[in-house]
Homo-oligomer: A and B are copies of this chain.
């Protein structure tokens, strides 16, 4: 079957992965792109030469494509989702999906009213074969009961390369909501329980030249079945790291201890880009070798569009994770900056 999609909003480079993923399935072709920024449009059309530049957002919403993919400015993603859904299109949005709870509720109502799909793109999670492996083991009951999830998402800032909207509090929506939406989604997916915020903190610890920026955040939360969670994100990764961040997560259960080094194995031989280390009560530590494998996220998304299923990223998962991370962001205490000597 052949499907078409269009693109609105190129403000984060994640859009390239979204578009490439759809095109690579062989089931999708790209129609229009619209963005307000000429430089972003030029880079995009150089990369994706089959796309037609639309003159307005309205032109895209009125075309005959089935789905809109977007990585617009964080705060614009909620309202755009509703316009896309109401135009009769599925909406495939980079994380963070919204910056306010109100936006999220309006999306929920629009999904219910239109019957269209709203796909949240938590790229660190949905493409990972290791994440799927752990989820399956949990589902089969092979890992006991979940006790604790820890997600670490340090990032390199390269401050001069970032657009101004990242340093505007309202447009950016805060560090926890932005980066740690990955970790919150991961908690929901593995633990299969609704997060209950307990304590969170954010701060601009060392970038006073960008007063609305947040360069550090972390949060403690519970789960509705008694598990515990913690996440931490920051923009302090030094330039020497051969990656944009040492993304890691740990899972503690009543039967196992798992560490998932997500995009590099720091300090070790570079042949494992992602490394999954599993220790059980009845078995010595093993490295589960899934090198070269990817989770079939884009194939599932296509199937969901065709069959009305919820296999790629169920609405409930994207909604619950987004709601929890906006709450955690909003409830955070604000830290003072570091005292320079």
Q: Which residues of A contact B (CB under 8 A)?
A: 145-148, 150, 152, 154, 198-199, 201, 203, 205-206, 216, 218, 220, 222, 225-228, 230, 232, 234, 236-242, 246, 250, 252-257, 259, 266-268, 275, 277, 279-285, 287, 333, 335-341
Q: Considering the chains assembled together, what is the distance between the CA atoms of A240 and B258 in angstroms?
A: 12
Given A230-B232, A257-B246, does the pair A225, B283 have CB atoms closer than 8 Å?
A: no
Q: CB-CB < 8 A to A337: which residues of B?
A: 226
Which chain B residue shows the least CB distance to A337?
A: B226
CA gap between A206 and B234 in the complex, in Å: 32
Q: How far is the CA of A85 from the CA of B155 in the complex (A)?
A: 50
Which chain B residue has the least Cβ–Cβ distance from A206?
B254
Contact B226 A335 (CB under 8 A): yes
**C-alpha gap A255/B253 in the complex (Å):** 35
Asked whether, in the complex, the Cβ of A339 is within 8 Å of the Cβ of B241, the reply is no
Copies of this chain assembled into the complex: 2
- Complex Cα distance A246/B259, Å? 10
Is the pair B198, A145 in contact by a Cβ cutoff of 8 Å?
Answer: no
User: Which chain B residues border A259 with CB–CB below 8 Å?
Assistant: 246, 266-267
A336→B147 CA distance, assembly (Å): 12
Enumerate chain B residues within 8 angstroms of A340, measured Cβ to Cβ: 145
A80 shortest CB reach to chain B, Å: 35
Complex Cα–Cα for A238 and B336 (A): 39
Q: How far is the CB of A191 from chain B (nearest CB, A)?
A: 11
Closest to A219 in B: B220
Give the residues in chain B near A150, CB-CB below 8 Å. Answer: 152, 232
The distance from the CB of A205 to the nearest CB of chain B, in whole angstroms, is: 6
> Which residue of B has the minimal Cβ distance to A277?
B267
What's the least CB distance linking A216 to chain B, in Å?
7
